[in-house]
Structure 1
Amino acid sequence: MSTNTVLISGASIAGPALAYWLRRYGFTPTVVERAPALREGGHPIDVRGAAVEVVDRMGLLDRISAAHIETRGLSTVDGSGRTRAEAAMADFTGEGSENDIELMRGHLSAVLYQATEGDVEYVFGDSIASMREDGDGVHVTFEHATPRTFDLVVGADGLHSTTRALAFGEESRYCRYIGTYFASFSVPNHLGLNRWVALHNTPGRGAAIYGTPPHTARSEPPHPGDVHDPGPSPKAKALFTFSTRHQLPLGHRDTRAQYRVVERAFENTGWEVPTLLAEMRDAPDFYFDSLSQVHMDRWSRGRVALVGDAGYCPSPMAGQGSSMALVGAYVLASELAAANGEHRAAFEGYESRMRDFVTQNQSIAGSGAGLLVPKSWPGIWFRDQAMRIAPKLPSVDLFGGRMRRAANAVDLENYVPA
């Protein structure tokens, strides 16, 4: 095997998934993660389409399914809290969605980590500082650890990837802002929502409360056979989205500035928004970022490759980032195994097999934005009307058809599980 040691930067979803498959195929992966420990919490994400097949091949389908949130539906409300429209989640996700798995990002990350921690080296609280490639491999220096040399380096470190910046150039060359910012954090479940989302819109603004079940508040993901409390959780997720014409001059780690931006965007907004804003600064899991996509002509250069959001972030509006990370990790590792570690051939195969899948999934982000944050009062009215008639007219497709096609737009059949 011409490649053996692989450094993976990032321990969220793509990184541990890639480490799992590389180890299973006989490689020696090391995962470095900037955070001091595995990141808990986060907002709900989805595993669907080809990604369900990937986690099944990993032997993790039952474990991941045990953490299923099973959101029942969504209501839109006016400034006084009166319901404008509501629809079951199946009306959004379409036929075939019964196989989808919705779970907390932190739970998926924990399951993947637990499946790999016994035979994969993890280095927390550190990150790549520099890389230099020559015929012997990639010589890596770290912020804290001593330098090491690896056969390959893979960036699985998200939208603001340090690996991508070091190997391909600055972020602005590849990240495309799609006109919206997103914030999420935990709040008390004032409304007693049970597996339900309540959403209030004004033009270009959306504030939602996402009532998830009690098991989502635990750091340890559930196990198969666990009995879940059917009642509402004492905690919910607050989600804010707002549109801007241009990207704001904000550092992605400047939390205080992010608080101020959210507060200004939603000042004088009705419904539960004043209460949510008052609770925002005390939330332990506040998350804020632009909704951006990563577009690159190639996801590899020399001995360095990218996987997941680092190479092809679709933005949360597509609802496919985690699934793309799982599929991408599987395809990249499988191509390396098929090529017996010859990285040039493997990277070519990875590019070829993933390109259309990525393109289709990135293209659906606009549909998600139109549903969650319409930019005008007529747009809000039209969205609500579509929600009202969707249950009565099966031919009305709010979002699910395009998403379903994109989620399955990759061929996994040529790979034999290790």
Structure 2
Amino acid sequence: MTKTVLISGAGVAGVTLAYWLRRHGFTPTVVERAPALRDGGYKVDVRGAALEVVRRAGLLAAIRERRTDVRSGAVVDRTGKRVASMNGDVFGGREEADAEILRGDLTRLLFDLTKDEVDYRFGDAIAAIDGHTVTFDSGRTGTFDLIVGADGVHSRTRALAFGPEAGFVTDLGYRVAIASVPNHLGLDREELTYVSPGRTTLVYSTAGAPSAKAMFLFSAPDGIDESDPRQALREAYADQGWEVPRLLEAAADAGDLYYDRMLQVRMDRWSTGPVALVGDAAYCAAPSSGQGTSLALVGAYLLAGELAAAGGDHTAAFTAYEKRMRPFAERNQKLGPANVKRMVLSSAGQVRTSMVMLSVMSRLPGRDRMMAAMMAPLHKAANAIELPAYPTTADRP
């Protein structure tokens, strides 16, 4: 029977999988390239079926206690004038039950549930896979019943087991950059967004955070060398108004600048032999979908549950996991391309029209209902799966 499982990646998908595998009597080992658990990060939403996953893990109350508590959102023009202002949940497209939390805080909560019973190996990574035997960057080797790649959109596990990234990754034609910046605007749990043709900039502060986060979403820059993300960002946002120059300068100096293409991962299968994939490594929906974290939580729960239900028969379990998860993942992936086109407007005319519509809508009595209607596809996709109740070892006689 399958007992030992190596998980590559200590992000949301990997740590969630480790938690549920332990609940089902497996022995997971988690290897993570970073020297320690990644704290902080940008804000993410837990919604729909994912809320049930964290509730079953006993974490829903703790997540709500650590919510970002962003109270308001506004769109500003080049001079900083607020074109439209809304309640934070309405602005973020959240329903009452949804929970917004920093990614690092969510990972930490999951890690704290498992740190005393799971072998975490930080500062190492999988270098080679030969059947059930793994060689690590450190030179160590180990043999495991199963190997799971939960190591993100640029998964090394996927590359080793399935082939080069280019065969599975689709570039949506946009870029995303995120960095911690000084809160020079004095934001108090508030989010501001500035939109110009092909480029969107937003900055927000969350509860208890001394600094702010700046995010840049923009169309893939023509003729710009992206080997240096800081320079690419400066060139893509040259001659921008509002606070963009100051935010760019701060982002360039940030130690946590993240820059990447807006990507999706699409695969015909998520397993081969003893190797399986979960989360962004298997079905990244792109940051613009708003569903990456929820897909990671749901996918990890299902994979662990199906392994338990199949009595450790990984072939049957992997098949059942894909059957349950694939329609849900594909429905949520459809949100990525559609949402980014609404977030990054291609022309000055689109920007003007959008600003007028937002200004009018923000003053109408039924604005919350209109925003809810606009966000309905997201919430329907987030709830488009029924989660089985897998008995854990604690439930068994």
Q: TM-score, structure 2 length as denominator?
A: 0.93
How many residues matched? Answer: 389
Equivalent residue for 1:14?
13
How far 1:402 sits from its partner (Å)? 0.6
Supply the distance in 2 between the matched residues of 1:47 and 1:415 (Cα, whole angstroms).
21
Equivalent residue for 1:389?
361
Equivalent residue for 2:193?
199
Supply the distance in 1 between the matched residues of 2:381 and 2:91 (Cα, whole angstroms).
15
Q: C-alpha deviations, 1:127-186, integer Å up to 9, x for none?
A: 0000011xxxx1100000421110000000001000000001111111111111111111
Evaluate the alpha carbon distance shift between residue 247 and residue 366 of structure 1 in structure 2; reply closer, same or farther with a 3 A threshold.
farther
1:142 matched to 2:136? yes
- Does the CA contact (< 8 Å) of 1:126 and 1:145 recur in 2? no
3-state SS in 2 of match to 1:97: coil
How far 1:196 sits from its partner (Å)? 1.7
Equivalent residue for 2:78?
79
Aligned runs of 1:144-183 on 2, under 5 Å? Answer: 144-183=138-177
Equivalent residue for 2:215?
239
- Does the CA contact (< 8 Å) of 2:45 and 2:294 recur in 1? yes
How far 1:386 sits from its partner (Å)? 4.0
Supply the distance in 1 between the matched residues of 2:223 and 2:43 (Cα, whole angstroms).
25
Supply the distance in 2 between the matched residues of 1:93 and 1:281 (Cα, whole angstroms).
26
Q: C-alpha deviations, 1:325-376, integer Å up to 9, x for none?
A: 0000000000000000100110011000001110111111134213321111
1:64 matched to 2:63? yes
Q: C-alpha deviations, 1:235-277, integer Å up to 9, x for none?
A: 1111111102779774xxx6xx000000001111111111112
Supply the distance in 2 between the matched residues of 1:41 and 1:315 (Cα, whole angstroms).
20
Supply the distance in 1 between the matched residues of 2:222 and 2:282 (Cα, whole angstroms).
23
3-state SS in 1 of match to 2:329: helix
Is there any run of 5+ residues in structure 2 with no aligned partner, and where?
none
Equivalent residue for 1:354?
325
Supply the distance in 2 between the matched residues of 1:182 and 1:116 (Cα, whole angstroms).
32
1:301 matched to 2:299? no
Letter aligned with residue 37 of structure 2: L
3-state SS in 1 of match to 2:188: coil
Supply the distance in 2 between the matched residues of 1:399 and 1:75 (Cα, whole angstroms).
17
Aligned runs of 1:271-286 on 2, under 5 Å? Answer: 271-286=242-257
Supply the distance in 2 between the matched residues of 1:370 and 1:195 (Cα, whole angstroms).
26
Supply the distance in 1 between the matched residues of 2:355 and 2:32 (Cα, whole angstroms).
42
Supply the distance in 2 between the matched residues of 1:365 and 1:248 (Cα, whole angstroms).
24
Equivalent residue for 1:366?
337
3-state SS in 1 of match to 2:114: coil
Equivalent residue for 1:221?
none
1:402 matched to 2:370? no
How far 1:72 sits from its partner (Å)? 2.6
How far 1:398 sits from its partner (Å)? 6.1
Letter aligned with residue 132 of structure 1: D
Supply the distance in 2 between the matched residues of 1:369 and 1:279 (Cα, whole angstroms).
25
Identity between Structure 1 and Structure 2 (%): 47
Supply the distance in 1 between the matched residues of 2:107 and 2:139 (Cα, whole angstroms).
24
Supply the distance in 2 between the matched residues of 1:392 and 1:288 (Cα, whole angstroms).
39
Supply the distance in 1 between the matched residues of 2:137 and 2:97 (Cα, whole angstroms).
42
Letter aligned with residue 326 of structure 2: R
Letter aligned with residue 110 of structure 1: R
3-state SS in 1 of match to 2:130: strand
Q: Which sits farther off after the overlay, 390-399 or 327-336?
A: 390-399
Equivalent residue for 2:290?
319
- Does the CA contact (< 8 Å) of 2:7 and 2:29 recur in 1? yes
- Does the CA contact (< 8 Å) of 1:91 and 1:400 recur in 2? no
- Does the CA contact (< 8 Å) of 2:73 and 2:91 recur in 1? no
Equivalent residue for 2:100?
102
How far 1:26 sits from its partner (Å)? 0.3
3-state SS in 2 of match to 1:392: coil
- Does the CA contact (< 8 Å) of 2:221 and 2:236 recur in 1? no
3-state SS in 1 of match to 2:282: helix
- Does the CA contact (< 8 Å) of 2:172 and 2:262 recur in 1? yes
Is there any run of 5+ residues in structure 1 with no aligned partner, and where?
218-233
How far 1:213 sits from its partner (Å)? 1.8
How far 1:62 sits from its partner (Å)? 1.3
Supply the distance in 2 between the matched residues of 1:383 and 1:415 (Cα, whole angstroms).
46
Letter aligned with residue 355 of structure 1: R
Letter aligned with residue 53 of structure 1: E
Evaluate the alpha carbon distance shift between residue 371 and residue 398 of structure 1 in structure 2; reply closer, same or farther with a 3 A threshold.
farther
Evaluate the alpha carbon distance shift between residue 386 and residue 327 of structure 1 in structure 2; reply closer, same or farther with a 3 A threshold.
farther
Equivalent residue for 1:117?
115
Supply the distance in 1 between the matched residues of 2:6 and 2:229 (Cα, whole angstroms).
32
Supply the distance in 1 between the matched residues of 2:370 and 2:392 (Cα, whole angstroms).
38
Equivalent residue for 1:333?
304
- Does the CA contact (< 8 Å) of 2:183 and 2:211 recur in 1? yes
How far 1:378 sits from its partner (Å)? 2.6
Letter aligned with residue 278 of structure 1: E
Supply the distance in 2 between the matched residues of 1:41 and 1:236 (Cα, whole angstroms).
11
Supply the distance in 1 between the matched residues of 2:348 and 2:4 (Cα, whole angstroms).
55
3-state SS in 2 of match to 1:341: coil
Q: Which sits farther off after the overlay, 43-52 or 393-402?
A: 393-402
